[in-house]
Structure 1
Amino acid sequence: MYSEDTEDKITNLSFVPHSTYWFIDKYSKKVIGAVNIRHKLNAKLLNCDGHIGYGIRPSERRKGYASILLALTLEITKKMGLNKVLLVCDNGNIASKKTIINNGGQFESEYIEECGNVVCRFWI
């Protein structure tokens, strides 16, 4: 995985220090997915987004890559000193729920966003 660490200098409260990693096939060099690790949480992230946000390219979904990416990410968060991390997914995103649970996610609660979308909050 490739990392690009950033420390946002923007004063907007929705930004926190974060690191982005790219999940790349070592042979074809094709991007399979990406993950963003937020080093700390603000109020919005605590409710709606969590410490970790990840995605897999649509053509590479349903191949187990999300579970691998999340497992690798959890190793990185431990090295960063984040011993407990929050993951959030849309209530209807069954694949993401399974990925989080299969990596040790413990359901805590649902949160209703301003737009009415319901998200599920898990701690690992």
Structure 2
Amino acid sequence: MRAFTLALFLATPLVMTATSAHANPFAAHTTGTEITQKQMDELEVGKATQDHVREKFGAPTRREQLGDTQVWYYDYAKIKHFGKNVQESTVFEFGKDNVLKVKSKGAAPAKTGNPFLGG
């Protein structure tokens, strides 16, 4: 019995590292699409189109039509066990020709409905 308990104790760290991030209780929880600054820099204003952005990041979290401008939002949240949580939104604005006019990154909307993110 002691040998079994010792084997179980020694095997537990191996099992924890072999499981997926979703099953790992120590992994941070993420939602949405994370877009890094490097990925944003790869999209050139005046050249990239809606098709380029969709191919790279998938469908946006939210869309808005403001006159001739279509705005795409990619929201991202990461709930960490330790340290500050991450909550951001990457925004792409397209003209009526579907070409990228403006790109920016900032804080996501305050009200998420998620109490762990404070809103």
Query: Would the TM-score normalized by the shorter structure come out above 0.5?
Result: no
State TM-score, norm by structure 2: 0.27
In our comparison, the structure showing a higher alpha carbon Rg is: 2
State TM-score, norm by structure 1: 0.26
Q: Higher relative contact order at CA 8 Å, sep ≥6: structure 1 or structure 2?
A: 2
